[in-house]
Structure formats: structure tokens, C-alpha cells
Amino acid sequence: MTQQSTLAPPVATEAGSVQVRNVVKRYGTATAVAGVNLDVRSGEFLSLLGPSGCGKTTLLRMIAGFEEPDEGDIVLAGSSVVGVPPHKRPVNTVFQAYALFPHMSVAENVAYGLRQRRTSRAEIGARVTEALDLVQMGTFATRNPKMLSGGQQQRVALARAIVNRPKVLLLDEPMSALDRKLREEMQLELKLLQRRLGITFVFVTHDQAEALSMSDRIVVMLDGRVQQVGTAEDIYTNPATSFVAGFIGKQNFIAGTVAGNGRLVTADGEIAAADADAAPAGSAVLAAVRAESITVSTVRPDTDVNVVKAAVGAVSFLGETIQYQLTTGSGHELLARVPPLHGELLPAGSTVWCSWAPAHVQVFPNPHPSTGGQ
């Protein structure tokens, strides 16, 4: 069930607010965005998260003005912008490719938009200096973009976007080309910059960890529709659908049937789940258990609730956790992530006991009961 209202709430008029009202975008017979309703609060960091082809970039491009909706309305600061060209909207966009002009210096790149608006030379100089200082690139003002690293080019692209003082900054996977360490550093810097500026950020990403670490709220999308909107904690701990549960973090899905009395019947025995009885007895469901909720031990736990015997397959040391790929007696594979125990790894081929608490089990309808999974 998608969390998407069909009734348009009152239009907000704050400078950085964005409202998307029943927006549809088609390309031929394909529907890229299918009736999306969304409210972006002024000054918040909101991420559009989903797999490739889910419609998140198309939605961002419609807010920017590079695409127009076939149906619906887009409202910025209380005024509809449908039909308004990009350069007349109070937004700026940072793309995956930073698109810096190679024949201009860093300062000239940042000043370009101000010159197009015929801003005075004195004001251009002051605002370019301010923008470069904000992104810690003031000492690189005279450099050519070709002489900069990927992270430095990204900072220049951000400075060029914020120098125009937009009400809303749109970011389309701007860190996808960076290596992991630099990407994590830039995530922190970008969030700090957003808080300092107070500008509304709408950020597109397919990286769950990136969205979780940076966002005030996250919009999870699939097939052009909003699946869930909420804080990182809301979406992680209370996913609205099996798709959201599986897309955020490492999730195990176990097919079963509701037996009543808080139990599900699976190929490896009964599973106790706190919300098992939310579905009628006999219903085909998926029990979702996160990898970090599973305890792995060579000694059988002193409980009969949610205990499964398994064989250890692949073992991965991830630093702060150890990841075990486990195969149960029925042949079902589970993924467990546990803290290192005295630095020792359980070897592949070991026989272990897996267990988890009923409170850590979430139950969803099984959309494909005949195949036993999603």
C-alpha cells in the first residue's frame, strides 16, 4: 500500500516550499511518473530514493523545468511554475556531470550566472568570494577546472549553484563519480552546507546509505509512484511495503502462511511475529528480518521461539560487522550481520543456530506466493 494522498493539502507559501500535485509524466506508452503528490518543506533536506527507472530524476527535472508534466501541477513558494522556463524559476540544479566550463577559471565559472543576469561587477566579486569560501574553495579561484580533483570540481559546481541564491537547490546524484571515502566526506560537508544556508535541498540518489545519513526526510519511489515518505528512522524501522523493507538495508524475506496466535508457518518451522495476526489466518505472507537482527551461535539458544539451524556459507569481514551467508535445512538462504566476537570468524561449513526476537519480524503480504518470495 503506497502512502500517497489523493487530496491536495493547502498550498504552502514559504520561500523554499515545493508542492507536487497529481503529477504524471509519460514518454510514449511508458509512464515515468504516475500521479505523484508530494510536499517539500521550506529549508529541509529531502531525498528522492529508488532504483534506476523509478521516476526520481524525471520528477526532479520537472521541478527544475527541464521537463513539463503531462498532468498535474508543480508549485514553488505558492505559485505554479508549470510552463515557466528553468532560468525563470527560483531553483538551481547540480547534475551528475558538473559541466564546468573548461576555458574559464573557477571564479569565472561561479560568476557565469550572475553575469548573465547583468549583476554589477562589485556584487559579482563579493558573491563569488562568499560562495567559494562556503565550499572551501576560495584559494582555488584562479585555477582551471581541469586542474581540480573530482571532489573539488563538485564544490565548484555547488558554489556556482548557490551563488544565485536559489530558494530550492536540486541535486541529481552529484556524488556518483566520487570514490567511497571522498563521497562519505562530501555527504557530511553537503549536509553542513545545507544547514548553514537554510536552502531547501531536493537530492536524488539510488544509494540508501547516502539518503539515510543526509536527509531530514526520504521519499522512496518505485515505478513512478511514491511508496513511502518519512524520516530515515521511520523508513528503516517501519517500512510501509515489502519493497521499502527490502530496498533499505539488508533484509531477509521468509515466505510463510499465517497460522494465528502470532505465528507463521514456514518451510523451516513456525516463526513468531509481533504483527503476525494483522493478516487473516491462511494468508500468504513474507516475514522480514533484518540481517543485523539475527544472532548466530554454535550453541543452541535456550528458547523455542524463532530458532533455525543453518550451515555457514560465505563469510565476509566488514570491519565493524561480520557477514554470514547461511543456508537453513529447507535450503533457504539467510544473511546475518553480527559484531566480531574476539576477532574470530566462524568458518564456512560450520553448523550454527540462528535466532531473532519476534519484535524484529515484520509481516507483509506475499505478492508472489507461488514462488515463495517477492
Cell of 195: 544547514
Whole-angstrom distance, CA of residue 100 vs CA of residue 206: 24
- What is the pLDDT at residue 12? 54
Whole-angstrom distance, CA of residue 178 vs CA of residue 96: 10
Residue in the block written with cell 506475499:
366
- What is the pLDDT at residue 10? 44
Q: Are 355 and 301 in contact (CB under 8 A)?
A: yes
Predicted confidence (pLDDT) at residue 6 exceeds the cutoff of 50: no
The closest of 319, 323, 374, 324 to 349, measured between CA atoms, is 324
Angle between helices 150-162 and 106-116 (to 10 degrees): 20
pLDDT in tens, 214-245: 999 999 999 999 999 999 999 999 999 999 99
Least confident of 107-111, 114-118, 121-125: 114-118
- What is the pLDDT at residue 247? 94
CA distances from 52 to 26, 205, 207 (A): 16, 9, 11
Q: Which residues contact 243 (CB under 8 A, 6 or more apart)?
A: 220, 222, 227, 374
- What is the pLDDT at residue 186? 83
Q: Which DSSP state fits 10? A: P
Cell of 268: 523451516
Spell out the domains of the chain, with CATH numbers in brackets.
18-242 (3.40.50.300), 250-365 (2.40.50.140)
Predicted confidence (pLDDT) at residue 13 exceeds the cutoff of 70: no
Q: Which residues contact 83 (CB under 8 A, 6 or more apart)?
A: 68
pLDDT in tens, 254-311: 999 999 888 999 999 999 998 888 889 999 999 999 999 999 999 999 888 899 999 9
**What confidence category does residue 370 fall into, taking pLDDT thresholds of 50, 70 and 90?**
low
Cell of 318: 566488514
The closest of 196, 178, 207, 180 to 135, measured between CA atoms, is 196
Predicted confidence (pLDDT) at residue 1 exceeds the cutoff of 50: no
The closest of 185, 186, 118 to 158, measured between CA atoms, is 186
Query: What is the three-class DSSP state of 51?
Result: coil
Q: Phi first, then psi: what are they for 201, rounded to 5°?
A: -110, 130
Instruction: Give this prediction's pTM.
Output: 0.87
- What is the pLDDT at residue 139? 92
CA distances from 94 to 28, 84, 117, 147, 157 (A): 27, 19, 19, 20, 7
Longest dimension (CA), the chain: 76
- What is the pLDDT at residue 342? 59
What does the pLDDT average to over 126-138? 91
**What confidence category does residue 85 fall into, taking pLDDT thresholds of 50, 70 and 90?**
very high
pLDDT in tens, 151-205: 889 889 989 998 988 999 999 988 887 788 888 888 888 898 899 889 999 999 9
